[in-house]
Amino acid sequence: MWRGEARGRLKYRSSPVVAGYGFGIADPRLYHSFVRSCVIQPCWVRAAVVLTAMGWIAAASLAQETPFYRQGMPLTPGSGGEVALPYRFGDSTGNLWRVFNNGWCQEEGNAPVFNQAAVIYINGSPLGQQNNQGRLDPQTGELVLENLPVNGVSVTRRVLFQKRDTILRYIDVFHNTQNQQQTVTVSLTTNLNLALSDTQLIPDPTKKGQNVAWVAQTAGGPAIVELYGGPGAKVAPTLDFQQGGNAITATLVLNVPPGRDLAIMHLHRPAASLDAGVRYVSELKESTLLKTIPTSLRKIIVNFAGAGDWIGDVELLRGDLLDVVELHNGDLFRGTHGQSNYALQTFFGPISIPADSVVGLVNVGEFHPRQLIVTNDGQIFGGRLEKETLDLELTNGQVTHIPISQVTRAGYRKHGGEADGWTFSQPLVLLRSGERLLIKPPAANLDVATRYGKLSLKPDSVAAISFQNDENGVHAVTLADGSRFSGLLAADDFDVVLETGGRRAKIPAGALVRLQLASKMPEIDDHAATLHLLNDELLVGTLTGKVKIETVFDTVSISAVEIRLLTRSQGKGQEAQAILWDGTTISGRLVDPELNCELKCGVTMKLPVSVLLEY
């Protein structure tokens, strides 16, 4: 059989079957018998042959313009999008990739590299798919295996094969079917057919000791790339492989709220060499990787920071080549914004924001709409715009004035060299009304009431305070040394000095979502002394003074610096066991109800014995 191939070429394939009513192109050996049986003149069939070939050539030409997310789609999916498993993808080298039950994939052909890619286990158990059916998403071209049950979680695997670069992309969605939060441990394993000659872990540039990808050079074959996360993501993978082996396992731990969805994304692909694989990961932009993923999916992916910025439930709108305005009815206008500045009335007074520092605008509020203006340094200013229209010059030269009341969101085109996301190197505050404001470091101490007593914390000892806690009404405090505990800030409001314009603003404590004073969240040294407490609280520091333990025969007074390990027996009051640096083990009851503690950041406190688990 002849069929159209890319670049307009015709390729011959032997086939004894004529497709359809004679408008497929038959094997020449069956040509004349086919014509006789159909009582059709040979010249008609020749014409059909030519027309069919032209159609294939046109289809092949159009295929070259097919967007990234369509490249994995077959031309004629099954009825209703349903397809049988194993499902086949062909790559540009002639190899065949097959997706089996539960979504794992295998490469076949000349010297295939991947034996089993993306084998998944949930809390140690495989998925529970009982049939051999999948579905093709007509919008994205993904193969979708839906609602696979395991351990109180429903898993949907979305598989996209990018033929041009031979990239296998997975998005695994986890739905919590229970009425309480579930901790879901996801294990993904890839096994290779070939032995490995060299491997390299790719670190997260934003987190010390955290890896996001693995590149391996096979012996006598290509390298492979296994990408399981992006820089600075909420959930990071743990990568495990054995030297001398030919498999990689990535483990990710998700805390899925009741009735909610979380998703992870991972990529598997060959590369020409180890260096080429490393270069691919280092040069990969998340904005390019996530661009074609629907917003509803992109928002719940937790192992990549994201291609855009979110303001509540609304994603910031940006244009590629032109500025863009989106209306409430879904219409999109593209062109060039004509504003020179944005005059905004805010809660701290009027402010004028130059247009060349603005990247987007979002209209929020149903009954009394207000505008959030997003700047190129990541700040978000909220209020009411004085001007009631947006001026947009369309590509035909016409300037249209769009009422703000009709606008859902507006954005400026992206500029060359613009980074994905923002990194904040100075203090900031996030408000419940959507604002994100850079501030100067506070001058006064922050007073916090805790179970350890009232603490007066110097601003430079505080990394962040979260005021939004869904489980209880207390605030979550993170110190500069990595200590974390709960408390309540005593102040009813905060006086801050804004970085923009140097003006002062008084922010009610109830309006705050987060106060962040450190440029990045602290990492705890593996060799640092720590105290593990109830409710997952942690103090980074040492016990000081004397620790008295009442044994069955005597009360032993120990200097705290002599203690290597101190553990308290659960449910047995003040009973504990101490192991000293010289190997001595002492068990008994702690005499004092409180222990003296000095944190690494300089904060001192008295620690109730009843909350201590281990030191």
pLDDT tens readout for residues 131-146: 888 999 988 889 999 9
Query: Three-state secondary structure along 144-189?
Result: EEEEEEECCEEEEEEEEEECCCCEEEEEEEEEECCCCCEEEEEEEE
Q: What residues have CB less than 8 Å from 381, skipping those under 6 apart? A: 344, 346, 351, 353, 372, 373, 375, 435, 437
Name the strand (E) or helix (H) holding 279.
helix 274-283
Can you say how many angstroms the Cα of residue 553 is from the centroid of all Cα atoms in its chain? 57
Q: What residues have CB less than 8 Å from 484, skipping those under 6 apart? A: 476, 477, 478, 537, 538
pTM above 0.85, yes or no: no
Amino acid 345: pLDDT: 94
Residues of the chain by 3-state class (helix, strand, coil), percent to 5: 15, 45, 40
Cis peptide upstream of residue 86 (ω within 30 degrees of 0): yes
Write the burial class of residue 123 (CB in 10 Å: 0-12 exposed, 13-18 middle, 19+ buried): middle
- Residue matched to tokens 């916090």: 448
Q: Which residues of the chain have pLDDT under 70?
A: 1-80, 306-310, 312-313, 417, 419-421, 469-472
Q: Cα–Cα distance between 489 and 484 in angstroms, integer? A: 14
Q: Cα–Cα distance between 414 and 168 in angstroms, integer? A: 28
For 481, the 3-state DSSP assignment is: coil
Q: Cα–Cα distance between 200 and 216 in angstroms, integer? A: 6
User: What are the φ/ψ torsions at residue 255 (nearest 5 degrees)?
Assistant: -105, 100
- Residue matched to tokens 């089996």: 100
For 404, the 3-state DSSP assignment is: helix
Amino acid 15: pLDDT: 36
For 408, the 3-state DSSP assignment is: strand
Strands 407-411 and 323-327: antiparallel
Q: Cα–Cα distance between 435 and 351 in angstroms, integer? A: 14
Q: What residues have CB less than 8 Å from 320, skipping those under 6 apart? A: 413, 414
Number of neighbours of residue 564 by Cβ within 10 angstroms: 13
- Residue matched to tokens 């004073």: 517
Q: Please name which of 573, 575, 610 lies closest in space to residue 595, comparing C-alpha atoms.
A: 610
Query: Three-state secondary structure along 178-230?
Result: CCCCEEEEEEEEEEECCCEEEEEEEECCCCCCCEEEEEEEECCCCEEEEECCC
pLDDT tens readout for residues 245-257: 899 999 999 999 9
**End-to-end distance of the chain based on CA atoms, in angstroms?**
75
Structure tokens at 535: 């409710």
Amino acid 43: pLDDT: 42
